[in-house]
Chain A
């Protein structure tokens, strides 16, 4: 690990001032950043520890919820108002990582979690456009069973744009289905992004995961009024039952009137550089009966344009069936 200076500001403004230092990074829970620093994937020369700047509260009302960026994943998942009004978020959070890591990891850090692409995480492989822009992509001709089937840039292994990495977060998938917003503070003031616009597709800049600018700080995530408290489900399909990243995950929320769908939230994880969401797929659910046939139509729409790599064609059918299953579970309501 490269040597780094360490600072511990006590307020967001002080943190923003400190992060203006060249090659500095915020330190939250450290579960991703310290791991990547150990392997030389990240090498900041200054760490700004933001664990003492506040931003660690949750407020919830009928109008929605505001989650401070430093709220730990375990505290968020177990917060009574979140469990009651946004069980989809709790369910997704508790599907990720381990109890130890959830005690450390923060809401803001989870939004910024970097890909688990083997070639990104291992500097022994020189080609990774995300880690070393312009170096190519080792995954495209390598072990790509876990990689993207949607929204990827595939221009061959030597292209400076190719990237088939996926976003590894479970929380993010739920936030897409819940239509959350990300509150951001920068040197020139505050701004708000829909979470669905917060993350980027690789496009021709695969080194960029998000639309957060250098020097900006995530201060909170906000949720709109709860619609899916009675009918939601997070389904995570992985190679072992716990403590593994998703091959496919589905966040599904339904607002029902009788058996008719009044509104819906649907997002897919493990398939793209960001959680995959489509207004067309959600629209196909609205006004329809909550039946497997309806859910299958939405699944087909959400997977439109899917393009597998050599080792992950199974993900397309797995995703479709997982969507139908998650929506079916959501429609059945909270089990007692």
Chain B
């Protein structure tokens, strides 16, 4: 699947409320899709398959589709999707919200971290159909260039990234970390330091609580600094 095809496919997925595709581009895409792919895969496209599913061997079994209603960054989306679609692929491939990143796609790197009903989760291991009726907050929903969220600003202030690929996940994770600390949630460091009531968010606590987000560039010292600045221990409210 060439990159040039991808955007256009997203536009013709039925049920999406973007309204951005016109009839000509759909016809154009359908013609090229017909030439480029098998009939089985085209049937999948018409049913709203995300690209990841198209990329896999189609096999003989027909895809199962389900209606889905889900709120992303306080905007309600109603569409029909393949049951195999992960929340991450729904965001990236169907809804054009590409801020959430696909790193490992196996829950091992945290690049796909989003907030599902306020809790941080790996969107790559969350089935979109299972998130029916949920409120999802992605990096796009935390802030933008004109009004950065406190965590986004702190990552900029402390240079908490190099290549930036893991950063949306890091920022979503840190946003949840700060909310969790308000409820005095514990980590294994809390037990190891004997502080299982109202644990102080030390650098060791930050490292442990951010350990679900891998940074291959190794920007960890600055990520810790960015989070520390927003904890009570860091001096900022």
Contacts and interface: CB of A to CB of B under 8 A. Distances in A.
Given A94-B191, A242-B207, A100 B186 contact: no
B110 A100 contact: yes
Contacts of A78: 183, 185-186
A90 interface: yes
A292 B119 CA distance: 43
B17 interface: no
Nearest to A8: B132
Nearest to B66: A6
Contacts of A5: 64, 83
Given A2-B59, A4-B64, A87-B196, A99 B188 contact: no
Nearest to A46: B64
Contact of A1 (B84, B177, B208): B84
A31 B122 contact: yes
Contacts of A31: 107, 122, 125
Contacts of A87: 191, 196
A25 interface: no
A83 B125 contact: no
A333 B139 CA distance: 43
Contacts of A6: 64, 66, 83, 127, 129-130
A98 B110 contact: yes
Contacts of B209: 99
Interface in A1-52: 1-6, 8, 27, 30-31, 34-35, 38, 45, 47, 49, 51
A2 B120 contact: no
Interface in B37-54: 53
A3 B58 CA distance: 9
Given A3-B61, A3-B84, A104-B126, A94 B186 contact: yes
A74 B185 contact: yes
A30 B127 contact: yes
A35 B125 contact: yes
Interface residues of A, number: 41
A99 B176 contact: yes
B56 interface: yes
Contacts of A49: 127, 129-130
B125 to A, nearest CB: 5
Contacts of B56: 1
B212 to A, nearest CB: 3
Contact of B126 (A1, A3, A30, A236): A30
Interface of A is mostly: mixed
A94 B205 CA distance: 12
A74 B185 CA distance: 9
B237 interface: no
Contacts of A98: 110, 211-213
B106 A38 contact: yes
Interface residues of B, number: 47
Nearest to B62: A3
Interface in A204-239: 234, 236
A87 B209 CA distance: 19
Given A3-B61, A100-B120, A101-B122, A91 B188 contact: yes
Interface string B169-207: 000010011001001011110110110100000000001
B211 A242 contact: yes
A27 B130 contact: yes
A8 B132 CA distance: 10
A95 interface: yes
A101 B106 contact: no
Contact of A100 (B62, B64, B122): B122
A31 B187 CA distance: 20
Contacts of B64: 3-6
B187 A94 contact: yes
A266 B138 CA distance: 43
B121 interface: yes
B186 A4 contact: no
Given A3-B64, A90-B186, 20 more contacts: A3-B82, A3-B83, A4-B83, A5-B64, A6-B64, A31-B125, A34-B86, A38-B105, A49-B130, A78-B186, A83-B196, A90-B196, A98-B212, A99-B176, A100-B120, A100-B212, A104-B125, A104-B126, A236-B188, A241-B208
Interface of B: 53, 56, 59, 61-64, 66, 82-84, 86, 105-107, 110, 113, 119-122, 125-127, 129-130, 132, 173, 176-177, 180, 183, 185-188, 190-191, 193-194, 196, 207-209, 211-213
30 contacts: A3-B63, A3-B82, A3-B83, A5-B83, A6-B64, A34-B125, A34-B126, A35-B106, A49-B127, A49-B129, A74-B119, A78-B186, A91-B188, A94-B187, A94-B190, A94-B191, A98-B110, A98-B211, A99-B176, A99-B177, A99-B180, A99-B187, A99-B209, A100-B113, A100-B121, A100-B173, A103-B121, A242-B188, A242-B211, A336-B194
